[in-house]
Amino acid sequence: MNQSKLLDLLESDARLTSQDLADILNEDKDEVAKEIKKIRR
């Protein structure tokens, strides 16, 4: 997963859900959630 793309999306709209992000990034919702948890640490 492209972490910088994920961060860019969150920066532009922090209200996006994990499902929204997964759809945009063409990734699994659970993978997006895991990546967000890693970023928050």
Tell me the residue range of the domain where 11 lies.
Answer: 3-40
pLDDT at 5: 98
| Per-residue pLDDT at 1 | 87
Q: What is the DSSP string of 1-41?
A: --HHHHHHHHHH-TT--HHHHHHHHT--HHHHHHHHHHHH-
The predicted-structure confidence for 1-39, as pLDDT tens digits, reads as follows 899 999 999 999 999 999 999 999 999 999 999 999 999
pTM, whole model, 2 decimals? 0.88
Number of structural domains in the chain = 1
What is the pLDDT at residue 21?
98
| 33 conformational bin, left if phi > 0, alpha if psi -120 to 50, beta if neither | alpha
